[in-house]
């Protein structure tokens, strides 16, 4: 997918607003001792709506901005968010997920990849990463919380981006038969 200037501007503004809201408000609220993380859901939603290149690029930029804002080691979040965005985009390109609960499943997978990948990379880089059953509990609760938040985040991103995304030829083809036009079988 090629992004036009309007959709790129909206994605940039969305990244900035989500990053501020995530750091200032959402990360302060804990559910069962685990803060919700909306950034993997945002990257997965952009990947589902825009495709693999848009998702990977958006994941890289958002991960880099989060590393800068939180003063973390640069590149760790970018690497993981790039994988999440690319995976969600490839799902869109290969399978055309039309089910209403697809964002919830993709959000759960994205949360799992982010939390497990981040913990694994911190462990491999030699940073202070506690490895215990408390980490497994935290990962499972994070996946559940993020999968519940995936539908509202996807709906918001879809509402903001769909008018500026190029038309999908598969949607036009399906819409022609539901508007009362003749089906190909009745023309014979």
The 3-class SS string of 75-103 reads: CHHHHHHHHHHHHHHHHHHHHCCCCCCHH
Say what percent of the chain tops pLDDT 90: 23
CB 59 within 8 A of CB 106: no
Identify the CA nearest to 142 among candidates 119, 174, 165, 167: 119
Residue 31's contacts (CB-CB under 8 Å, 6 or more residues apart) are 141, 145
d(CA 80, CA 94): 21
Compute φ and ψ for 34, nearest 5 degrees.
Answer: -125, 125
Instruction: Identify the pLDDT of residue 152.
Output: 92
d(CA 88, CA 109): 9
Instruction: Identify the pLDDT of residue 109.
Output: 92
Distance of CA 13 to CAs 62, 97, 173, 179, 181, Å? 11, 26, 32, 36, 40
Identify the CA nearest to 150 among candidates 84, 72, 75, 73: 84
End-to-end CA distance of the chain: 37
> In the CATH hierarchy, which fold is given to the domain comprising 5-178?
Arp2/3 complex 21 kDa subunit ARPC3 (1.10.1760)
- Work out the average pLDDT over 34-49: 89
- Work out the average pLDDT over 5-23: 85
On the question of pLDDT at 44 being above 50, the answer is: yes
On the question of pLDDT at 188 being above 70, the answer is: no
Collapse the DSSP code of 21 into the 3-class scheme (helix H, G, I; strand E, B; otherwise coil) and give the result.
helix
d(CA 153, CA 95): 21
Say what percent of the chain tops pLDDT 70: 83
């Amino acid at each position: 997918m090629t992004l036009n200037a309007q959709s790129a501007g909206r994605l940039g503004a969305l990244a900035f607003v989500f990053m501020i809201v995530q750091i200032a408000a959402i990360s302060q609220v804990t559910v069962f001792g685990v803060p919700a993380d909306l950034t993997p859901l945002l990257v997965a939603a952009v990947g589902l709506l825009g495709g693999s290149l848009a998702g990977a690029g958006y994941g890289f930029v958002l991960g880099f901005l989060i590393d800068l804002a939180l003063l973390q080691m640069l590149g760790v979040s970018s690497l993981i968010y790039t994988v999440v965005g690319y995976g969600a985009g490839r799902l869109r390109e290969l399978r055309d997920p039309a089910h209403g609960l697809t964002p919830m499943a993709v959000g759960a997978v994205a949360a799992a990849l982010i939390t497990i990948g981040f913990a694994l990379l911190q462990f491999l880089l030699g940073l202070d990463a506690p490895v215990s059953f408390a980490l497994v509990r935290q990962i499972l609760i994070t996946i559940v919380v993020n999968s519940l938040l995936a539908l509202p985040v996807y709906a918001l991103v879809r509402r903001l981006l769909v008018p500026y995304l190029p038309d999908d030829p598969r949607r036009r083809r399906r819409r022609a038969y539901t508007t009362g036009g003749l089906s190909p079988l009745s023309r014979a």
